[in-house]
Amino acid sequence: MTGITGDKVNVKALRALYTDNAAARRILDSVASRERNVWVSKVETVSSRLAAEGAPLSRGEIIEALKGFEEVGCGKFYNGRRGQPSRFVWGVGSHSVGLAAAGEKVTIDTETPKAEEREEEDETLLSLEFPLRRGLSIKLTLPSDLTPGEAARLSKFLESIPQPEPTLK
């Protein structure tokens, strides 16, 4: 993708955006908390991820923040058209941008992969831990966009699993 560069990130403006825009701060904190860079952030995926992290934002707030990232030189925002989702394509390493925005002294990663190697934000699965009983937590891997209908089906499935009858003592 041409025109997406990270060599001109305005760090001062990035930090101001982080300070002044709560939505931008939530998104940047989320990408900074990851181990790897994300190169494509779809609006719906960002929304699902932030909701799962307990920091939901409206679609408008997310788009405004992503356009702000474009203004400070972090990449390019694309409005969804012709079946493509609205998304932000990072021109720099998202992880280092998040850290720099929060005030950490880091060098923003400008080594971007080729377009075909760009990793999209994992939009398919979220790993969750659920405390089932004292001393036992289970791990669930669910779609980040789980619908209420799917949750109801999953609940009915769990109810259908045979349980041993309790023994009386």
Phi first, then psi, for residue 167 (nearest 5°) are -95, 140
Sorted by sequence, the CB contacts under 8 Å of residue 142 that are 6+ apart come out as: 125, 126, 128, 154
Per-residue CA distances from 27 to 3, 10, 43, 57, 62 (Å): 23, 18, 11, 9, 8
10-residue mean pLDDT profile of the chain (169 residues): values are 56 94 94 86 89 88 96 93 87 89 82 53 64 86 74 86 74
Domain map of the chain by residue range?
11-117, 125-160
**What pLDDT sits at residue 144?**
66
Please state, in angstroms and rounded to a whole number, the distance separating the CA atoms of residues 148 and 26.
25
Look-up of token digits 């941008």:
97
Q: What is the distance of C-alpha 127 from the center of its chain?
A: 13
pTM of the predicted model over 0.75 = no
| Nearest-10 crossing angle of helices 59-71, 43-52 | 110
Phi first, then psi, for residue 82 (nearest 5°) are 50, 45
**What pLDDT sits at residue 3?**
41
**What pLDDT sits at residue 27?**
94
Q: What type of residue is 164?
A: P
Strand partners, 90: 75
- What is the fold of 11-117? Arc Repressor Mutant, subunit A (1.10.10)
